[in-house]
Each structure stands twice: as structure tokens, then as C-alpha cells.
Amino acid sequence: MGCNVFIVHQDSIISFMERFFEYHDEATFRDPNKTIVMLMDSSQSDEKYLLRELCEHPNLVEVLNLLMLKPTANMKYIELITHRFVGTAEESVDLLLLDVFDIANKTFRHGRQLFPDKITNLQGKVIRVAAFNVPPMVIMHQNYSSYPSVKSGNQMYEVYGSDGLLIKKFCRRYNCSVELILDEVNQWGTIYSNRTGNGVLGNLLNRRADIGFGGLSGWHTPLNNVSITCIFQGSTYMESHAFSFHSSSLDLHHFLVSKFQTGSSAVLQDLADQGNAAFAIGRLINDHLMIGGWITAGNVHKYQIMREELYYDHEVSMATKT
């Protein structure tokens, strides 16, 4: 329904957090400013246990605006508390006292912002990025002096390419670090009907990553872990994107999609060397070209570029709804 403010009693907060992701994944409405107001009961004796359980809940990491209203034992004041959100994983769940509300006088003791800015300076907070090596969008190599910090496990990386530079500049501006979630085998990935998946999209679906990029388009059909090829008129092959053609109104595009088959990089290399196939390439901004690795210095003389583009699409990054 598009709700973005939730008022939850402390007795229900854990069950609410358990379903927070599930409900937002099903919702069609997206709002990044989701806010949880938690009403606490001063008479409860297990308050410390509840707060610890809440702070250790894995779903809390994606809740930016959290405000706890905690009455004092004498019921004269209400303490307003939030979590740090920024910093390391341990620091991000630290609880901070924002202000104290005087119930009788209806005044705030400090007059502070109850929903402080937690975005401008993330204080090194880790952003999990699903990607793989896909030049010229993402180019990675090991480097122990990367800034900002970009790592996968214990290995440090330097990231280049159009998408790689964007995430680096993002983290320089907002003071965050990057944890790469790499799946070179499944690449863009496949999403299955049981809500599991692999590759970039699978890592996003299962919330192993916060952001995914690397030559993504607005696809509506999963891409398998091998190159997509198209066969028409018996002998012509085309490497292309099916997640784009499905939404086209041109009969030619639907005809191409109906002929799509899968082929490994080795098969494409063999076809390219024979010189009897047509391969799709990407024309990027500033007239740069994205060419598959099967087009090499040894066979490129057998090909020429088409005069007109077959279609165009926008490259996107993808993120979880929360």
C-alpha cells in the first residue's frame, strides 16, 4: 500500500523485523525513507534482552530511520533513542540517546533532530556490491593499496571501468567501503521460481548484496550462466540480451528471441574464427565499443560493423527495495 512509517510495540518488534524484507519485496511501492517508531514499555523486565536481540537482528542493517520511545520508570520523561547505522558492523548497532521529552511540560530537553542525517558520512560503513569482471563496465585486479577500501574476503582489489569508477566515487563522497560479492561463474545470474538464485541478481534477491552492477539492463528474463546466442537463417549467430528484446514492439526482435540458444565461450570462439557468423557488440558512450573476447586480433579482419544499431538500452544498477 506504500506505507513508509511503521509504529510497532516492543512485543511485536522482532516478528515485525522478521517479515520486514519479505513484505517489501512483495510490494510494488518503493520509498527509501522507511521509518520504524518503536514504542517501549517501562514495566517490562526483559528490556535489555529485547534491545540486544533487536540490535543483533540481521535485518536491522537496512533500516535507516529507527526511533525508540522509552518512558522512564517514573513516567515523567520519554527517552528518544536511535541506532548509529554508520561505521563498522559493530558500531552501526550502537544505541544513541537523541533527546528527552518532558511529558508534563511537553518540551524536549536538547531540541535535537530526531531523525539525524546518517547518509552524508557513512564513516566507513560497508556497501556490499555484487559484480564480476565485465570490461569495460567492471575491471578488477588485486591491489593492497586501494582507496576507498574495496575487498572480497581477505583480498583487496582496485576497480576500474565505468561502473567501477562510479562506486568508487560514491564511496569517496559518502565515506564508505566496498565488499565485493563475486560470482564469475554465474555472472549476471539466474533467478528460480523458489526465490533462490545465483550471480548478480541472485545475490541481490537473497540479500547477500546491497547493490548490483556490471552491464545490467532492464531485463525481465533471467540470463543463464553462459553466453546467450541467437541463430537465424541457419548459419548466423548473434550474442545479445534477450532480461531487452521481450519488451520490443518490432516483429524482427521477437523473431530473434524465438531463435535464441545457449553457447559456451569456446563455441563462440570457434564460430568467430570460421568467419561465417554475425556477433552483436555494444556501442557505448563516446563511440567506444564493447566486443566479446571471441573477436580477436586473429579474426577481426573477417568482420565489419553494421551501419545502424539494432536496438539500444540503458545500463542500470540494481538495489534492494529497502
pLDDT tens string 237-259: 334 445 756 566 677 777 776 76
Is the residue at 279 inside a domain? yes
Residues 60-116 pLDDT 10s: 888 899 999 999 988 999 999 999 999 998 899 999 999 999 999 999 999 999 999
Same domain for 210 and 233: no
Same domain for 103 and 192: no
Is the residue at 209 inside a domain? yes
Confirm if 83 and 93 have CB atoms less than 8 A apart. Answer: yes
Distances from the Cα of 305 to the Cα of 230, 252, 309, angstroms: 18, 19, 9
The sign of the dihedral angle between the CA atoms of 151, 157, 158, 162 is negative
Q: How far is Cα 27 from Cα 274, in angstroms, rounded to an integer?
A: 50
Is the residue at 221 inside a domain? no
Same domain for 136 and 200: yes
Predicted local distance difference test score (pLDDT) of residue 121: 96
Left, alpha or beta for 275 (phi > 0: left; psi -120 to 50: alpha)? left
CATH number at residue 141: 3.40.190.10
Same domain for 17 and 53: yes
Q: How many alpha carbons lie under 13 Å from residue 121 in its C-beta half-sphere?
A: 2
Is the residue at 162 inside a domain? yes
Confirm if 249 and 240 have CB atoms less than 8 A apart. Answer: no
Is the residue at 246 inside a domain? yes
Q: How far is Cα 132 from Cα 183, in angstroms, rounded to an integer?
A: 6
Last residue of a domain, one of 157, 184, 215: 215
- Supply 13's cell numbers: 518488534
Predicted local distance difference test score (pLDDT) of residue 67: 96
Same domain for 155 and 64: no
Number of compact structural domains in the chain: 3
- Quote the strand ranges of 219-268, DSSP E: 227-232, 236-239, 260-263
Same domain for 231 and 195: no
Same domain for 85 and 63: yes
Last residue of a domain, one of 215, 237, 260: 215
Range of the domain at 147: 126-215
Same domain for 104 and 136: no
Residue numbers of the chain with a pLDDT score lower than 70: 1, 44-45, 218-242, 244-249, 257, 259-263
Predicted local distance difference test score (pLDDT) of residue 309: 76
- Strand 282-283 relative to strand 211-216: parallel, antiparallel, unpaired? unpaired
